Amino acid sequence: MFPEAPYTAASVRELHRLVRRIEIRSRRMASDLFSGEYHSVFRGRGVEASGIREYSWGDDVRTIDWNASARKDGLYVREYAEERERTLMLCIDVSSSMMFGSRARLKLELAAELSALLGFSAIMNHDQVGLLLFSDRVERYISPAKGRRHLLAVLEELLRHRPRQCSATFDVPASFIRAAVIRPAIVFVVSDLDAAGRSRPLQMLQVRHDVALACLQDPLEERMLPGAIYRLKDPETATQLLFDARNPSSLERYREYRQQQFARLEEEYRRKGIDILRLRTDRPVSTSLNQFFLHRAST
């Protein structure tokens, strides 16, 4: 659990202990499971242009250099050389809904665990790590840097932050990253936002960067327990409604709606070339992240 704010000396010590526990657990898992997968999955995606050549059948159309093609009266593509040092940007939604969790942990704690696993995998590969906390505005930005001490400062800042009652939008991180991060980076956007129909900002970001979206969910959002009437409140808008879970047909319709909703979301982002990592507050981050890496490695 998070230490209470405003912060006292005792709560700061508690925060440091929490960061330390996350470090111990995440470093071991990153070393055992993810360091090699991280390197191979993202290898060659953080790249710099090294020249141009004539287009060949099967080349990625996104690499076509239209200016060179116009000058040379033919199709030419940019060639890339892999950067020895890459940047991992963690873009974390810190709107008020991220403080929800009905089981093992809050969504924001889940985001911190994911950030730690990705972060330690990155620094083990000598990559830089940066942090952007966002809601309906940029809440905090830490420039990318290398090393354990920097990563611990990133994790501490994430755990220290307290969300405001507001909604989040992908326009905020997309606009900021496009302006602030010039060289190609690995960008992980971590949010519980209903992302359906909101892919365009991340698609624009994908032009330069390698973008992935981590969708955080709680089991209660997918399948409510039967036999009760739920008073539901949107933590971002304070809107309330009642849901009668005593009716089996209502529960089944809700379950089917949620499944169809996520299937549409995955299809929308897949068409835009953006991979989705699905995480739940009641499941280990490591299992889902390993499956995500295996999926990316096979595509």
Tens digits of residue pLDDT in 188-233: 999 998 777 789 999 999 999 999 999 999 988 877 767 777 776 6
User: What is the pLDDT at residue 114?
Assistant: 95
Per-residue pLDDT tens over the stretch 6-40:
444 455 567 667 777 777 777 777 776 665 667 66
How many residues belong to the chain?
Answer: 299
pLDDT of residue 88: 95
Report the distance separating Cα 165 and Cα 95, nearest Å.
Answer: 7
pLDDT at 81: 55
Phi-psi region for residue 111, left (φ > 0), alpha (ψ -120 to 50) or beta? Answer: alpha
Contacts of 53 (CB under 8 A, 6+ apart): 76, 77, 79
What 3-state DSSP class applies to 225?
coil
Is 234 in contact with 214 (CB distance < 8 Å)? no
- Please tell me the distance from the alpha carbon of residue 80 to that of residue 225, in angstroms, as a whole number: 52
DSSP 8-state symbol, 201: H
Taking the C-alpha atoms of residue 38 and residue 103, their distance in angstroms, rounded to an integer, is 29
Separation between Cα atoms, residue 289 and residue 284, nearest integer Å: 9
The answer for residues whose C-beta is within 8 angstroms of residue 235's C-beta and 6 or more apart is: 96, 97, 99, 100, 165
Cis peptide before 6 (omega within 30 of 0): yes
pLDDT at 46: 45
Other C-beta atoms lying within 10 Å of the C-beta of residue 201: 19
Residue 119's pLDDT is: 93
Distance CA 165, CA 259 (A): 27
Which residues of the chain have a pLDDT value below 70?
1-13, 15-16, 32-37, 39-40, 43-50, 57-58, 80-84, 225, 232-238
Going along the chain from its start, the domains and CATH numbers come out as 9-44+85-298 (3.40.50.410), 49-82 (no CATH)
How far is 1 from 90, CA to CA, in rounded Å?
21
The predicted pLDDT at position 165 comes to: 77
Contact assessment for residue 212 and residue 276, using Cβ atoms and an 8 Å cutoff? yes
Q: What is the pTM of this model?
A: 0.77
pLDDT of residue 6: 45
